Structure 1
Amino acid sequence: MEPKPQRFFVALVPPPEIQAIVDDIKRQFAEEYASQAAQKSPPHITLQPPFAWMPQELPKVEEQLAKFSMQQTPFEVELNGFAAFPPRVIYVDVVKPAALLNLQTSLMADLEATLEIVHEASKRRSFTPHMTVASQDLTPPNFNAAWQSFQERSLQIKFLASSLSLLIHDEQWHIHKTFPLSKKVHSP
């Protein structure tokens, strides 16, 4: 039997203590608003949307992500409250620092130029960094009820983005490998 392509995506994954906070919010959505879909992946900020890739060719992706991440500097990410893509998605809002926007643009351009990984829809819309806490299976009535509760809720967290993560889909999404952002900042 010939191997089939698997699905992957590239993201910033917060440190474990922040993952725990966001996972608690996802559990609340599952329990109170019957939305479990967001629990199928660890908390993350998608940089390169899902793409299909043959498992035997995965070392090419890993090598390119390692090269790319070595040229990137760690930076601060700020989570600030909640926002939505009505009528089905509620997410933890991410402040848009230039470093994050530049990283996402550079990563997508690099993967397109070197590996021909392209997500056409993302090329046509602006990047909205976010951490999804409810999606897909959130019904419009439950969206409205949840949004009433979450739109004014406070959540302010900062963390250092110090690596890229390659996630793989195997019934659920999980981290396959991480790549440190290892370019050094030179002080005067």
Structure 2
Amino acid sequence: MRTGYGEDRARHIPTHITLMPPTPVAPEQLSPLRRHLAEVAATHPRFEVLLRGTGTFRPVSDVVYVQVAQGVSSCERLERAVRAGPVSRTLDFPYHPHVTLVHDQPAPVLDRAFAELEAFTCQFTASSFRIYQHGGDEVWRRVEDYQLTG
């Protein structure tokens, strides 16, 4: 969907709801992080997510997104648990679960995405989360999936 709004880099960014922003992880932190994420997944149940309508972070950030209308509190619990592990970080902005549609594009493109997808709706069961590694080639690669079994 993002590539339709001029974001060529979006071909390498899987559609997602972020739990932790891109964060440098030292090689010696990877095993403890993976163990922590497995524990988080084992203590959190699957949950329903409803995506509906558009939102924006403008003027703070040139982003248009699909809003999480159901499942917000479950996303927030997961986000807090993930960040409480061996690789923690402070957030630049308060956590706000969403699915990015357009990022850093001209205002007319942001406006078009906001209008064209304002009636968008999608429902699914969140049954897992995934850790990615960002390569020097700007591609996000899957490292591991964690099934929500709590």
SS state at 1:47 partner: coil
In our comparison, the structure showing a higher alpha carbon Rg is: 1
**Distance of aligned partners of 1:76 and 1:54 in 2 relative to their CA distance in 1, 3 Å threshold:** same
Distance 1:76 1:144 in 2: 29
Report the TM-score when normalising by structure 2. 0.84
Q: Which residue of 2 aligns with 1:11?
A: none
Q: Which residue of 2 aligns with 1:166?
A: 131
Of the three residues 21, 24, 27, the one matched with 1:52 is 24
Q: State how 1:69-88 maps to structure 2 within 5 Å.
A: 69-86=41-58, 88=62
Distance 1:141 1:181 in 2: 39
Question: Across the two proteins, how many residue pairs are aligned to each other?
Answer: 145
Structure 1 residue 61 corresponds to structure 2 residue 42: no
Q: State how 1:74-153 maps to structure 2 within 5 Å.
A: 74-86=46-58, 88-97=62-71, 98-108=73-83, 110-111=84-85, 115-122=86-93, 125=94, 127-136=95-104, 138-150=105-117, 152=118
Report the TM-score when normalising by structure 1. 0.68
For structure 1, list consecutive stretches of 5 or more residues without a partner in the other structure: 1-24, 184-188
Let me know the Cα RMSD of the aligned residues. Answer: 2.0
Q: Which has the higher helix share?
A: 1
